[in-house]
A and B are shown apart, each in its own frame.
Chain A
Amino acid sequence: MDIERSRDRFAPHYLEHEKWKLGDYGAHPIDKYLRPGRIPHIWCSGCGLGISMTCFISALEESGLPLDKNCVVSGIGCTGRVAGYLKLDSYHTTHGRPIPFATGLKLGNPELTVTVFSGDGDLFAIGGNHFIHAARRNVDINVICVNNFNYGMTGGQVGPTTHLKARTTTTPYGNFEQAFNLPHVAVASGAVYVARWTTLHARRLKASIKEALLKKGFCFIEIIAPCPTAYGRRNRLGTGLNEMKYYKEHSVIRHNADPAEAELVLGGDILVGKFRDEEKPTFLDMQKEGTLDVMSGKGGSKK
């Protein structure tokens, strides 16, 4: 029913083109990755979440991974809705707990490629400990954190990534808390792949997500996204377009930079790039190795 409706709605004549014989529906080539009847999404005009999602889908398409072996786990918030829009095996979990769910998925079925797609408040405020410990164990999951500097869905409250001195609904005289530097947290916790991009760097972001999908170990990508309705309006950042222009002027690409320098300041430069890319045995590898050692009588501590 939904399929028929979405076909009728835009009546696209180009559906008769050869590219559409793939058995998909809808008007856009990406529509075969989206749940029918759920588009248009709820995100505001100028929001960066749609770009993040497009980049993720394109990266998934390019990576050539089988779709039925791909899972997306989301938490709560604007970004949490990604799981609801994607036509993959996707989970919309409780607040702050997408990483435990993803860890369980990966350990239960190691064949799966598990991606956590969530916001900064969900992953670093409520789920901060889960993030640290999943990175420490090097569980083979990919974490994509869309950072819009506040709790957008509930009306723009202050969060752990809000800039110093920024105004939000709960800090009307300016935020006086230090903000999290997410790539630094990830590197310090032991993530093997850490990158940060803004939504303007769509092509680099796509390449980065593809790398992360094909890489083993805990991969973390921070996406800096505009939030014109909740955050931009109170801080005089303008529309989504103004924020994108700001990224164009103020982002500095520096690969392998020290993540300690990647702190974000309101009105300052944004350091982007790939901060870390290394190889480490994953949690499952270590577990197998340990089990084999015990079975063969080597036993870890008796050396």
Chain B
Amino acid sequence: MKLWRKPLDADDWEPPKGKIYIIEERCKGCGFCEEFCPRKVLEESDKYNSRGYHPPEVVNPDDCVHCELCELICPEFAIFVLDAKEMESKKPKKKRGKGGGSKKTSQKKKSSKKQTSKKTKKGGRK
């Protein structure tokens, strides 16, 4: 969007910023979010999900203004936006590791991880 003049209160007003989360496994590649994003933040990626669709990827994360149109227009409940600043201030302490190896062992590992993560969650909330 082009502005014909700079808004008078442009200096003391900060546009909201969003952080986009994509649940790639749910995506069916309809392309609505990529097409109708008003700031062209999303683009089709090269990777495949397990159903063979190309999920979107965030190409210009700084342009997102948290309008939540992608969240509303996604038919698969696969994309949502949260306030970027809020998310940065409350970053999770531990990221879950990418599971490797066979399923059986990873399940056991996950279950043990869950218990530990639950404990940390409770601690964090207090």
Contacts and interface: CB of A to CB of B under 8 A. Distances in A.
A248 to B, nearest CB: 8
Given A16-B117, A50-B77, A11 B72 contact: no
Which size class do A's interface residues fall under? Answer: 35 or more
A46 B30 contact: yes
Contacts of A245: 35
Interface string B74-114: 11111010100001001011111001000000000010000
Interface string A28-50: 11110010000111011111111
Interface in A3-21: 8-14, 16-19, 21
A43 to B, nearest CB: 7
Which size class do B's interface residues fall under? Answer: 35 or more
A54 B74 contact: yes
A54 B121 contact: no
Contacts of B69: 202-203
Given A17-B87, A202-B69, A206-B72, A45 B53 contact: yes
Interface string B27-58: 01111100110000000000000000100000
B79 to A, nearest CB: 8
Contact of A28 (B36, B78, B87, B125): B78
Given A10-B23, A241-B30, A244-B32, A40 B76 contact: yes
Contacts of A206: 72
Contacts of B59: none
A51 interface: yes
A212 interface: no
Given A50-B76, A58-B72, A9 B31 contact: no
Given A10-B23, A11-B96, A13-B92, A54 B125 contact: no
Interface in A39-88: 39-41, 43-51, 54-55, 58
A51 B71 CA distance: 9
A237 interface: no
A202 B78 contact: no
B84 to A, nearest CB: 12
Question: Which secondary structure dominates chain A's binding surface?
Answer: helix
Given A18-B90, A200-B36, A34 B77 contact: yes
A206 B92 CA distance: 32
A48 B90 CA distance: 35
Contacts of B120: 16
B23 to A, nearest CB: 5
A240 interface: yes
Contacts of A202: 69, 72-73
B107 to A, nearest CB: 8
Given A18-B125, A45-B28, 18 more contacts: A11-B99, A14-B87, A16-B92, A16-B93, A16-B124, A28-B77, A30-B80, A40-B76, A44-B28, A45-B30, A46-B30, A46-B75, A51-B75, A54-B71, A240-B32, A241-B32, A244-B35, A245-B35
Interface of B: 21, 23, 25-26, 28-32, 35-36, 53, 69, 71-78, 80, 82, 87, 90, 92-96, 99, 110, 117, 120-121, 124-125
20 contacts: A11-B99, A13-B95, A14-B87, A16-B120, A17-B87, A17-B92, A19-B82, A34-B77, A39-B77, A45-B29, A46-B32, A50-B74, A54-B72, A54-B74, A54-B75, A200-B73, A202-B72, A206-B72, A241-B30, A244-B32
